[in-house]
Structure 1
């Protein structure tokens, strides 16, 4: 039961390192009561246990060193409550972010696991698909450079946590008239499916209408779609349907999760109606 403790003894009381105490000394957060002028050894008072404990807990609350210094400056009840309320709001926002991140990661894992099990690649199927909201700048893109800048702008418009990696939210649009009149189909419009309209300019939000779609998965890339497009249009005509809207291409597996080109996966979706 002694009043003066060595740095090692004092650190052990609060289960921290001696280097942490040396750091607190250097930044004038918690000074020892004595430093031996010959040896440089630091000594602390047992009466400082409360201050060190408070510092440790405030660090656990996520306070920065500057915030902790402010906390100790002319401490009073109102100031302490105000600071704790502020940190509480920060914590609640962080929890909200982590919950959103957890949801996003779960969706990504489910998508990638489900899409990797698809065995009927290049089989054409008819699907009923609900209305979907997208954000697009409606720019006609003709090469990888233009596409890269467009993707960057689209992603920057989203106010979400980790929205793109491992997801199937990117897509392209090829205008129906280009297909109908056999025009060159390389030009595309890029879009991202949106989950939340918040903070997105309404003029950039559009809808892909619900309806019946002829769909087909294929492996390749965004640009080389003509062979598969011809195949699916022939199927549509054979089944006595007609194309009734723009051609949608969904990027199901992309370079955000693989650098193996043979693993990249795309889906063509073409809106159709009975003739």
Structure 2
């Protein structure tokens, strides 16, 4: 057993690279006990093994080099505990974020797998739908440019991890009295469904009432809705229903997951009641 070790021997003790040790030397975090002036070879003492092991563990905890330098400056019990407590708190917050992210991704996959099985395009189906919460600024949307700016403002309200990509939370509210696409300009309002109203200003929260809805899926652009609405209005009249609220246009599959227009999917939901 020897005290003096070459850089390779010392690196193998903790299964790290010699370049990592050279880096620690350059920044002053862990310097060798001796450097041969002729060859430049670095030599370490087995007594430095504890510090190297501590550095490796602190790196595993996610501490930066600067944080590790601070850890070793005037190292004492109180300072070490405070640093570890701070790192623990940050780690718990990160774990919470990752848990929320995992849940979000799981929900997205479940939604996309389910919605991708839809084959009854343009078929009108009657659904009973529960109350839903949305956020909206109630601003009029006149074109795609308005929609993009409004969407950015609404998304910034959400305090969630990855709230939109692969989800079905974006929608438009259309006033039923307008039958032609070029007459929607003063009636179309963008909204986002909410999962958790925590940290969302109550003044932006709206409620879509529960009820019976005539629903239809179609593939295409959100603005290409006129003919589909006309078909639904004829069905509603024929079946002796009347429209009893605002029409919802929900984007089930959008450009966040596909650039293929034929893969996009929009659902129209029209609230109805019997005459």
Classify the TM-score, shorter chain: over 0.9
- For 1:118 and 1:214, the matched residues in 2 are separated by 16
Q: What is the correspondence of 1:192-271 to structure 2 with a 5 Å cutoff?
A: 192-271=192-271
Contact persistence 2:249–2:266 (CA under 8 A): yes
Matches within 5 A, 1:1-275: 1-179=1-179, 184-185=183-184, 188-275=188-275
Cα 1:182/1:86, change in 2 over 3 Å: closer
Any idea what SS the aligned residue of 2:20 has?
helix
> Once the 2 structures are TM-superposed, how far is the Cα of residue 183 of structure 1 from its aligned partner?
7.3
- What RMSD in Å do the two structures reach over aligned CA positions? 1.4
TM-score norm. by structure 2 comes to 0.96
Q: 2:119 & 2:249 partners in 1: Cα distance?
A: 19
User: Hey, what's the Cα distance between the residues in 2 that align with 1:220 and 1:182?
Assistant: 15
How many angstroms apart in 2 are the aligned matches of 1:60 and 1:182? 58
Describe the shift of the 1:4–1:220 C-alpha distance in structure 2 as closer, same or farther (beyond 3 A): same
Runs of 5+ consecutive residues of structure 2 not aligned to the other structure: none
Aligned-pair CA distance for 1:19? 0.9
The C-alpha deviation readout for 1:182-217, integer Å capped at 9, x for no partner, is 971355211111111122111111111111100000
Question: TM-score, normalising length from structure 1?
Answer: 0.96
Task: Judge conservation of contact 1:185–1:226 (CA < 8 Å) in 2.
Answer: no
Counterparts of 1:182 and 1:116, CA distance in 2: 27
CA distance in 2: counterparts of 1:39 and 1:171, whole angstroms? 70
1:168/1:250 contact within 8 Å kept: yes
- In 2: Cα distance, 1:164 partner to 1:9 partner: 51
| 5+ residue gaps, structure 1 | none
After TM superposition, give the deviation of residue 43 of structure 1 in Å. Answer: 1.0
